[in-house]
Amino acid sequence: MATPRRNTSAPTSQAPKRALPREPSSETQSKRKSSAPSALLPTSLLPVPLQSSGPFVEGSIVRIAMENFLTYDICEVSPGPHLNMIIGANGTGKSSIVCAICLGLAGKPAFMGRADKVGFFVKRGCTKGTVEIELFKASGNLVITREIDVTKNQSLWFINKKPTTQKIVEEQIAALNIQVGNLCQFLPQDKVGEFAKLSKIELLEATEKSIGPPEMHKYHCELKNFREKEKQLETSCKEKTDYLEKMIQRNERYKQDVQRFYERKRHLDLIEMLEAKRPWVEYENVRQEYEEVKQARDQVKEEVRKLKEGQVPMTHRIEDMDKQRHILEGRIKEKAMDIKEASQKCKQKQDALERKEKHIEEVQQALRVKQNEEHDRQRRISNTRKMIEDLQNELKTTENSENLQPQIDAITNDLRCVQDEKASCEGEIIDRRREKETLEKEQKSVCDHIRRFDNLMNQKEDKLRQRYRDTYDAVLWLRKNRDKFKQRVCEPIMLTINMKDNRNAKYIENHISSNDLRAFVFESQEDMEVFLKEVRDNKKLRVNAVIAPESSCASTKPSRSLSELKQYGFFSYLRELFDAPVPVMSYLCRQYHIHEVPVGTERTRERIERVIQETQLKQIYTAEEKYVMKTSLYSNKVISSNTSLKVAQFLTVTVDLEQRRHLEEQLEEINRKLHAVDSGLIALRETNKHLEHKDNELRQKKKELLERKTKKRQLEQKISSKLGSLKLMEQDICNLEEEERKASTKIKEINVQRAKIVTELTNLIKICTSLHMQKVDLILENTTVISEKNKLESDYMATSSQLRVIEQKFVELDENRQNLLQKCKELMKRARQVCNLGAEQTVPQEYQTQVPTIPNGHSSSPPMAFQDLPNTLDEIDALLTEERSRASCFTGLNPTIVQEYTKREEEIEQLTEELKRKKVELDKYRENISQVKERWLNPLKELVEKINEKFSNFFSSMQCAGEVDLHAENEEDYDKYGIRIRVKFRSSTQLHELTPHHQSGGERSVSTMLYLMALQELNRCPFRVVDEINQGMDPINERRVFEMVVNTACKENTSQYFFITPKLLQNLPYSEKMTVLFVYNGPHMLEPNRWNLKAFQRRRRRITFTQPSQ
């Protein structure tokens, strides 16, 4: 640039600035000072630019103030009303001014392309930053202030120093037609390349917003919305028209079925009318019957009243006779009481007489008893004497007891010997029982131990079943069918292997493959084929089978003794870690050489290199690893590989088979001893039984001898007892004659007393007879009264019977009336229900033919539609049968089809109406589109033509070609309209559309700049910002573009223009209306409060005036 190098910017306070991401000078931020731009004209223009510039456009920027913002501590910039050149070296803070304009006017941080959070624009080390923009307004400048809080990443807004919201700020800025997000108006440094990437559609939208009238973009949006809705309506109309045609065609196919359905429905409707009339006819018949029954009931009621009136005199006469009868019955009761008293006295005398007779019988009975006792005493004396004689005879025949004692003593000795033998036998039995109990306890203990071993085996089988179900099923089959095999068949190796220490199971499982672990081991090829045919072919089980070697390898000795290997930490070979059947062990020795593979400890792992070199083993195991050594065929070097051991899964369950065999042998010995003990117990019980029998026989013999020895003594005792009884009976003598004389005297005394009692009884009988005669007279009189009363009652009962019959008839008639009334109500309710009438709702007049009266006082009538139908139940039933037969002829009709037909008819009608509305709406939209299109397209074409004219002139002045046109593939697709820029920079080429790929970076920059310049004179926006757009241009194009910018931006009535660049060419043309803002940066900058622009201008003038003399 041709500006004198003596010009300098006003210094600001020296403080390190905060660098944004990708800031090129962030590495030297601690040495840099804040910079401040200043406005200065060329040397020929001494006045302050603002004083000599033209008027500002409404919305132009008058002042920009920054505090703690990016590179600035405190800085204030005063741009001019036309072209503002912001010049400075890279990193001094030119783009910071652009960022301040964008953010100060409510722009988004992401639009700058530098950071996505507003807090990043605050100077490093500060918590707050401020941007203040003063915009020109004729009514008074608008000052917008934005305070940025770093910690909260938020902003506070002020308008003219008063707090406000961002929304109000955006509304104020939009009112001034400021669009910081429009690349046609605001083109920051990081967005220059994106301008060329704008699609034709996006460029048109940006141009409309930038230079078009406010309503142009609104019309365009309306057109796009109208066109979108028009397409939707056209699609909707087409779809509905197609659907309507399909609906009409479908209804035509079902029309005949619907007609037949409705013909059937007419018959059903007639049936419904007949069924509706039938209750009314039934009701009328019952109502007439009700009237007849009611009349008959009233007649019977009158008869009941007359009969009740005739019964009143008869009732009075019966009551009088009843009173007379009560008086007579009272007198009869009195006579009865007197008779009862006399009878009681007679009864007392009779009882006294009976007692006297009974006393005589007692005396006679006592005499008879004494006579019988005497006869009995004589008989007992005779019997006792006979018994004594018999006992004395038996005593004479009884032998002497001294001869029996030796026999008794011998039997006693024999009995004692038998009891001793029996006690000895019972003691031996008890000992045997105790021995048996001990053996049974041992047997139970051994069985429990064996069961625990079996449970461990079951655990191994469970693991096999869970992992290899087919192998488990094959094991079950083998156990049931071992008789089919000639030689020994071993179950899967994992079941037959028994680890001596389950901690070593990992070595075996890592050494033997899982396929062999679940393999069956056979000694015969024939047995294996039988097994595989049955299990694999027939049962479809996936199992493995192997054959043990013909000559056993189970006891093969290792090539090196274990004692030689113990120095390396080996403690065993794999074969010695477990037990297994001989075929299994033989197979594993031949196949896996388990007798040659040693197992070591961690000590082996520590000496592994020495082990590999000295032992020449092929496989070894350490505590946690497996080593395999091979010798190279080419170099004879030993190559080793090691793998970590996997955790054991199947062989961790250990069963000590030797201990189990020992337990089984112990169990067999216990069972043998138990059998011997049981046999001994049986023999001892038989011996004890024989001794018991012998003991019983000896006891019986001893008992008989003892009885014979004591028999004589017993006979003597009995004889002595009988003699004593005889003496007592002989002493008890009775005098029968004296007793008979005493009894005769007592009987005479009693007979005298009896005669006196009989005389008194005769007198009482006479009195009682007289009383009975009086009572009979009273009874006859009472009977006469009762007879007359009974006759009256009979007459009364006859009348009452007739009354009851009539009353019963009345009740029956009344019940019949009630039933008929209830039936009438029910039939009326049913008839109303059939006609869909409420309980209180009257039948409409147009349906009435007659008005019958209901018994409850209400009135109703059948519908008039019934008058053409039959009036009797028989005729109605006949017609119902006929109509039902006709209706049943219409078969195969689906009500769903009719419902769908009706539904489709309604839908067709709705679709027709909706289609009409849609077409009217479509026509309305087309009319709106036509009107809006005319208001939008014609001004837009004129605007694009003006842009094209300016753009073409600019390119022509550069000896290049360029044009701008309105591009649309389809005139009706308003969302596809766009502005197409085509350029050519060489005469040998043709016009090409401006794209991010076809032109070079400088060509895109020139095209972008010229397009923006073409918008400059047409643009009504307050200002335009272009940041470093000349970076990619060659010197010729840069000079041409700069001249165009100056000429265009410095014309009258143009908007404010900000042109940011880090460098300029020599001898460029300038205009008096330009304002140049220099941005300096360095350690010797003055602080802002020490900068004096007027003093600087005076020094500049002095230097200028003194130059010619030098």
> Which secondary structure element, helix H or strand E, spans residue 421, and what is its range?
helix 405-467
Report the alpha-carbon distance of residue 602 to residue 569 in Å, rounded: 8
SS3 content of the chain, % helix, strand, coil (to 5): 65, 10, 25
Cβ–Cβ < 8 Å for 294, 817:
yes
**pLDDT at residue 33, rounded to an integer:** 33
pLDDT at position 183: 66
Pick from 38-42, 251-255, 535-539 the range whose average pLDDT is largest.
Answer: 535-539
Could you tell me the pLDDT band of residue 28, with boundaries at 50, 70 and 90? very low
Average pLDDT of every residue of the chain:
77
Q: Which of 511, 539, 532, 530 is nearest to 621 (CA)?
A: 511
The tens digit of pLDDT for each residue in 129-145 reads 999 999 988 888 899 99
Residue with more model confidence, 265 or 804: 804
Q: What is the pLDDT of residue 621?
A: 92
CA distances from 1020 to 177, 182, 347, 517, 1048 (A): 8, 14, 159, 92, 14
Tokens of 752: 């005298």
538 DSSP 8-state letter: I
Mean pLDDT for 269-278 is 74
Q: Which of 73-77, 884-888, 891-895, 1101-1105: highest mean pLDDT?
A: 73-77
Q: How confident is the model at residue 909 (pLDDT cuts 50, 70, 90)?
A: confident
Q: Average pLDDT, stretch 924-934?
A: 73
Least confidently predicted of 169-173, 279-283, 291-295, 1009-1013 = 1009-1013
Query: Which residues 6+ apart lie within 8 Å of 689 measured at CB?
Result: none
Whether 806 shows a pLDDT value over 50: the answer reads: yes
182 or 102, which is more confident: 102
What mean pLDDT comes out for the span 1058-1080? Answer: 82
Distance CA 1060, CA 572 (A): 89
Q: Give the pLDDT band (50/70/90) at residue 860.
A: very low
The answer, yes or no, to whether residue 452 has pLDDT greater than 80, is no
Residues 114, 21 contacting (CB under 8 angstroms): yes
Percent of residues, the chain, with pLDDT higher than 90: 8
User: Which pLDDT band, with edges at 50, 70 and 90, does 31 fall under?
Assistant: very low
Q: Give yes or no for residue 1021 having a pLDDT over 70.
A: yes
Lowest-confidence range among 77-91, 559-573, 598-612, 1076-1090?
A: 1076-1090
Residue 1013 has what pLDDT?
67
Using CA atoms, how far apart are residues 405 and 714, in angstroms rounded to an integer? 18
What is the per-residue pLDDT across 1023-1052, written as a single tens digit (0 to 9) for each? Answer: 878 777 666 677 777 777 777 778 777 877
Distance between CA atoms of residues 567 and 1079, nearest Å = 86
Residue 838 has pLDDT above 50, yes or no: yes
Q: Which of 24-38, 543-557, 748-762, 994-1008 has the lowest mean pLDDT?
A: 24-38
Q: How confident is the model at residue 1054 (pLDDT cuts 50, 70, 90)?
A: confident
Is residue 186 within 8 Å of residue 1056, measured between CB atoms? Answer: no
Which of 332, 892, 432 minimizes the C-alpha distance to 673? 432
Q: Cα Rg for the chain, rounded, in angstroms?
A: 72
| Residue 64 DSSP code | E
In this predicted structure, the answer to whether residue 415 has a pLDDT above a threshold of 50 is yes
Residue 546 has pLDDT above 90, yes or no: yes
Contact indicator for 406, 730 with CB cutoff of 8 Å: no
Query: For residue 528, is pLDDT > 90?
Result: yes
Classify strands 1056-1061 and 83-88 as parallel, antiparallel or unpaired: parallel
Q: Where is pLDDT greater, at 524 or 207?
A: 524
Q: What is the DSSP letter of 498?
A: E
pLDDT confidence of residue 658:
63
pLDDT at 1107: 53
Angle, CA 105 vertex, CA 102 and CA 109 arms, to 5°: 45
Question: What average pLDDT does the segment 522-548 reach?
Answer: 92
Distance of CA 765 to the CA centre of its chain: 109
CA 86/CA 97 separation, integer angstroms? 9
Q: How many C-beta atoms lie closer than 10 Å to residue 328's C-beta?
A: 18
> What residue spans of 835-872 are helical by DSSP H?
none
Residue 668 buriedness (CB in 10 A; 0-12 / 13-18 / 19+): exposed
Residue type for position 854:
I
| Measured distance CA(811)–CA(818) in Å, rounded | 10
Cβ atoms 56, 1056 nearer than 8 A: yes
Question: Is 21's pLDDT higher than 50?
Answer: no
Tens digits of per-residue pLDDT, 323-380? 888 888 888 888 888 888 888 888 888 888 888 888 888 888 888 888 788 788 788 8
Distance of CA 508 to the CA centre of its chain: 48
pLDDT number for residue 623:
87
The predicted pLDDT at position 15 comes to 32
Whether residue 556 has pLDDT greater than 50: yes
Give the pair of three-digit tokens for residue 560.
Answer: 């090196």
Q: pLDDT band at residue 1086, thresholds of 50, 70 and 90?
A: confident
Query: Percent of the chain scored above 70 by pLDDT?
Result: 84
H, E, C per residue of 929-978? HHHHHHHHHHHHHHHHHHHHHHHHHHHHHCCCEEEEEEECCCCCCHHHCE
pLDDT score, position 43: 27
Confidence of residue 14 (pLDDT cuts 50, 70, 90): very low
The pLDDT-based confidence of 9 (bands split at 50, 70, 90) is very low
In SS3 terms, 896-913 reads as: HHHHHHHHHHHHHHHHHH
**What is the per-residue pLDDT for 463?**
83
Write down the pLDDT at residue 738.
Answer: 78
- Burial state string for 248-260 with b = 16 or more CB within 10 A and e = fewer than 16: eeebeebeeebee
pLDDT at 386 over 80: yes
3-state DSSP call for residue 813?
A: helix
Structure token digits, residue 1005: 């920059």
Model pLDDT, residue 39: 36
Specify the amino acid at residue 859. S
The Cα 996–Cα 198 span in angstroms is 9
Q: Higher pLDDT residue, 505 or 1018? A: 505
With beta carbons less than 8 A apart as the criterion, state whether 28 and 89 touch: no
Q: Name the least confident of 48-52, 171-175, 471-475, 984-988.
A: 48-52
